[in-house]
């Protein structure tokens, strides 16, 4: 079985539609695919409503979401897996997240205007086309209008931390985020621990805070990752008694270094999230083999 438990679609900042994402996952031999769009389950619901799902895609869809949260005032991403996308408590929570994204988007637009870039909010919204409004939509607008060549440059010059259009917002506490994921019947996973640019001390503090509020797992492998990082995260998973997840964090086929389902296998001493009793029972497996 091949698990990819972190991907994005056009419901947030991904390039492929939820259907195209599944086509690609099937082509790549994935057995369990989680769609984890930023602060929305719209793509998951769209797929769950496809009447001939099982004949179109021989794959298990894991309903998921990637929620923006804060720990000590800093932003982190918490992935919710195997949750009920229709749960009322989750729905209400995600409406609030969308409001925060809208408010932040308006402020990013104003800041860009002050920097001489007109129409960015309208432009980003047009690109988002109803999706969860994300910074990559602004980045795409900046590229489209010739303000820079690449998305990364847009983050480096305008949208990244400390740059002219950086807007600090306080996302809900990690405690609230873990609670809402649990209330929707899901597992809460600390996303891509190596991608926050934290010192070892600060990462340990963040993981301790996550564990203290009931967090279930961490992403031991996120996309293309060097072995020493994986080894270090494996030790942290044991220290904090967190199960291990993995995923490509796939956004676009151009991201050839981390295609869907192409990440490395979990080390044998890792405890996979799908072997936690509450999930293994639902999957109908006690022990599963993984790559
Ligand atoms: P948001 O959730 O709206 O703050 O946007 C975060 C998303 O922006 C991440 O999930 C990435 O997809 C993307 N992102 C963040 N930093 C960069 C960067 N330096 N270059 C390209 N994309 C980025
Ligand atoms: Mn993203
Ligand atoms: Mn993320
Ligand atoms: Mn992601």
List pLDDT tens digits, range 227-242.
Answer: 999 999 999 999 999 9
Q: Do residues 40 and 139 both lie within one domain?
A: no
C-alpha distances out from residue 211 to 96, 100, 126, 239, Å: 24, 25, 39, 11
Strand 32-35 and strand 3-4: pairing? Answer: parallel
Tell me which residue range forms the domain holding 187.
3-93+170-283
Would you say the pTM of this structure is higher than 0.75? yes
Indicate whether 178 and 257 sit together in one domain: yes
In this predicted structure, the answer to whether residue 165 has a pLDDT above a threshold of 70 is yes
pLDDT band at 290 (very low <50, low <70, confident <90, very high): very low
Answer yes or no: are the C-beta atoms of 69 and 38 closer than 8 Å: no
Is residue 199 located within the same domain as residue 242? Answer: yes
Domain shared by 138 and 8, yes or no = no
Instruction: Tell me, in angstroms, the distance from the centre of ligand 2 to residue 54's CA.
Output: 28
**CATH code at 251?**
3.20.20.140
Q: What residue spans of 28-156 are helical by DSSP H?
A: 42-48, 53-56, 88-114, 120-128, 135-144, 151-154
Residues 257 and 175 grouped into a single domain = yes
Please, are residues 61 and 44 in contact by the beta-carbon 8 Å criterion? yes
Regarding whether 107 and 89 lie in a shared domain, the answer is no
Is the pLDDT confidence value at 42 over 50? yes
Whether 136 is in the pocket of ligand 1, judged by its Cβ within 6 Å, is yes
Distance (Å, whole) CA 260 – CA 10: 15
Beta-bridge partner residues of 100: none
Answer whether residue 150 is part of any domain: yes
Residue 130 tokens read as 């109803």
Q: Is 7 in the same domain as 113?
A: no
Instruction: Point out the domain boundary residue: 138, 159, 180.
Output: 159
* Pocket of ligand 1 contains residue 135 by CB under 6 Å: yes
Q: Does residue 206 lie in a domain region?
A: yes
Other CB atoms within 10 A of residue 257 CB: 9
With contact defined as beta carbons under 8 Å apart, do 176 and 66 qualify? no
Tell whether 88 and 213 lie within a shared domain: yes
How many structural domains compose the chain? 2
Average pLDDT over residues 171-188: 98
Mean pLDDT computed over 60-64: 98
User: Among residues of the chain, what percentage have pLDDT more than 90?
Assistant: 95
Which residue CA neighbors atom 3 of ligand 1 most closely? 134
Instruction: Tell whether 15 and 38 lie within a shared domain.
Output: yes
Atom of ligand 1 lying closest to residue 68 CA: 2
The token duo for 220 is: 């031991």
Tokens matching residue 114: 């002050």
**CATH code: domain of residue 146:** 1.10.150.650
Let me know if residue 14 belongs to a domain.
Answer: yes
Is 290 a domain residue? no
The residue whose C-alpha atom lies closest to atom 14 belonging to ligand 1 is 136
pLDDT at residue number 291: 43
Task: Give, for ligand 1, the residue of 7, 136, 143, 152 to mutate: max count of ligand atoms closer than 8 Å to Cβ.
Answer: 136
H/E element, 26: helix 18-27
What per-residue confidence (pLDDT) applies to 284? 61
Q: Among the three residues 115, 135, 159, which one is the final residue of a domain in this structure?
A: 159
Q: Which residue has the higher pLDDT, 25 or 290?
A: 25
User: Residue 84, SS3?
Assistant: coil
User: With the C-alpha atoms ordered 66, 231, 290, 271, is the resulting torsion angle positive or negative?
Assistant: negative
């Amino acid at each position: 079985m091949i698990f990819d438990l972190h991907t994005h679609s056009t419901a947030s900042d991904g390039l492929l539609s939820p259907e195209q994402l599944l086509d690609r996952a099937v082509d790549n031999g994935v057995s369990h695919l989680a769609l984890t769009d930023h602060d929305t389950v719209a793509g998951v619901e769209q797929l769950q409503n496809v009447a001939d799902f099982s004949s179109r895609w021989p794959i298990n869809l894991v309903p998921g979401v990637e929620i923006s949260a804060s720990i000590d005032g800093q932003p982190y991403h918490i992935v919710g897996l195997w949750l009920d996308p229709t749960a009322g408590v989750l729905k209400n929570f995600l409406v609030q997240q969308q409001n925060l994204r809208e408010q932040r988007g308006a402020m990013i637009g104003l800041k860009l205007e002050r920097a001489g870039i007109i129409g960015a909010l309208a432009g980003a919204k047009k690109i988002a086309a109803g999706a969860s409004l994300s910074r990559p939509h602004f980045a795409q607008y900046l590229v489209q209008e010739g303000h820079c060549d690449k998305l990364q440059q847009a983050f480096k010059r305008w949208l990244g931390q400390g740059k002219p259009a950086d807007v600090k917002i306080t996302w809900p506490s990690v405690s609230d985020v873990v609670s809402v994921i649990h209330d929707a019947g899901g597992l809460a996973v600390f996303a891509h621990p190596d991608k926050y640019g934290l010192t070892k001390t600060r990462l340990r503090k963040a993981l301790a805070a996550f564990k203290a509020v009931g967090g279930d797992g961490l992403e031991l492998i996120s996309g293309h990752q060097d072995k020493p990082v994986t080894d270090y995260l494996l030790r942290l998973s044991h220290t904090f008694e967190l199960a291990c997840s993995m995923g490509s964090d796939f956004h676009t086929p151009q991201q050839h270094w981390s295609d869907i389902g192409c990440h490395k296998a979990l080390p044998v001493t890792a405890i996979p999230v799908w072997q936690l009793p509450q999930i293994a029972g639902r999957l109908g497996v006690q022990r599963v083999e993984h790559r």
